[in-house]
Copies of this chain bind each other. A is one copy, B any other.
């Protein structure tokens, strides 16, 4: 049932039916039409090309006579199965063929940003999805608010208030397909040439996004409480991007004292803002919950970022941003130029997911799952005979492994690679190499590792570190 765009020239000496005939034959010889493929019906093609049906008929008849096509009455015309086509397959630079999966056989991957493979709540998702598609009327299919539908924004508002102490109105919420997209919007809202301060080391992907967008980025040193506000004060940065709930990659939780210092910093100038990426706040295994920075803010200074991609599935593109009221006004100025990046169906599914409690139940399940893995990992390490220090193990889905006296980071990572183990060094996450760590520090994630594999994986990792394998 394909349409074929054929540039027909009525004035040409070549008759119309022959132009059609030539074009189709050419396509077949170039391998662009595969054996068995159905051609458009004479009616459809004739209407499309604005010619008579018999003109198309004539072309088809001829191809039929020559054996290029086969006709099945009342069904359609099909491309014949001639071997000839196989040989002429387009091969110019191989760019048309699917790239090979470069899935070399990795044994264990201590990935930092994956999620538990079986973690996706397939059945619930499917159920809600079907319900939405069955019940919802056609209003689903008209473009809605640029910030997202009111319903899902309301659901998110209530959810983040309950679970994170974020206080806002649904009007301050903008949803979008991924944090990077929301940062793009932020770039537009904050206008250009903004200097952003980031913790160093930091989430490299956000750093790259800022860079590509044309922000200028300053790395600020950290202590165990998080970004050092003194250094921040010294820099010309007007926006500070922080992860108070679980800093990536260090795993520090920012204590209330530092949070208040940060808020004070922001309050000192009108155009200062804090971007709070509430990274991995869903997964916390020890210590009392600290409400989000946003909830402490009295001066309308915090831009809050959250996502469902990490807690549900990365392939579900769904993030949200809470704007302070002052920026909300700027958003209203530009919102007409952008439209929401999440389909209405997905918005409705997510709304339902949150409202009927499935989401929180899912979070509880995942938290237990991750906690089990974390505990297992920690107990496995107790068997190690060499000195090590663990930090950042009380939240998120990875921990930080300090290795005083062990070899160089890069060497350990490479040794691990040789044994088909993927493990990640801290160095990669520094913004400027000069500020880099001198220690040997590995980041070991357990999100994607299977529970059953952890003992063996940790044993091997220990041996790799000791270089005893």
Contact = CB atoms under 8 A, between A and B. Distances in A.
Contacts of A313: 140-142
Interface string A21-48: 0000000000010000010000010001
Nearest to A90: B169
A234 interface: no
A360 B1 contact: yes
A233 interface: no
Interface residues of A, number: 94
A337 B162 contact: no
A49 interface: yes
A434 interface: no
Interface in A319-352: 334, 336-346
A436 interface: no
Given A3-B360, A341-B181, A341-B317, A336 B208 contact: yes
A177 B142 contact: no
B342 A143 contact: no
A417 to B, nearest CB: 20
B3 A162 contact: yes
Contacts of A213: 188
Interface string A420-462: 0000000000000000000000000000000000000000000
A205 interface: yes
Contacts of A133: 122, 125-126, 129-130
A15 interface: no
B337 A178 contact: no
A120 B133 CA distance: 12
A407 interface: no
A255 interface: no
A377 to B, nearest CB: 20
A178 B341 contact: yes
A158 to B, nearest CB: 8
B99 A150 contact: yes
Interface stretch (A60-68, A282-290, A379-387): A282-290
Contact of A138 (B32, B122, B288): B122
Interface string A127-147: 001100110001011111000
Which of A134, A141, A213, A364 has the largest number of chain B CB atoms within 10 A? Answer: A141
Nearest to A315: B344
Interface in A168-212: 169-171, 176-178, 180-181, 184, 188, 192, 205, 208-209, 211-212
A3 B291 CA distance: 12
A399 B343 CA distance: 29
A92 to B, nearest CB: 9
Given A98-B154, A118-B138, A133-B129, A5 B164 contact: yes
A96 interface: yes
Contacts of A361: 1
A69 to B, nearest CB: 16
B315 A143 contact: yes
Contact of A337 (B49, B180, B363): B180
A4 interface: yes
Contact of A209 (B211, B212, B314, B337): B337
Given A184-B184, A336-B205, A163 B2 contact: yes
8 closest cross-chain pairs (CB), A and B: A143-B314, A177-B341, A141-B313, A208-B337, A315-B344, A95-B169, A120-B141, A5-B165
Given A211-B337, A343-B346, 17 more contacts: A3-B162, A4-B163, A5-B291, A7-B165, A7-B289, A48-B289, A50-B287, A98-B150, A98-B154, A125-B133, A143-B309, A177-B317, A177-B341, A177-B342, A181-B338, A208-B337, A317-B340
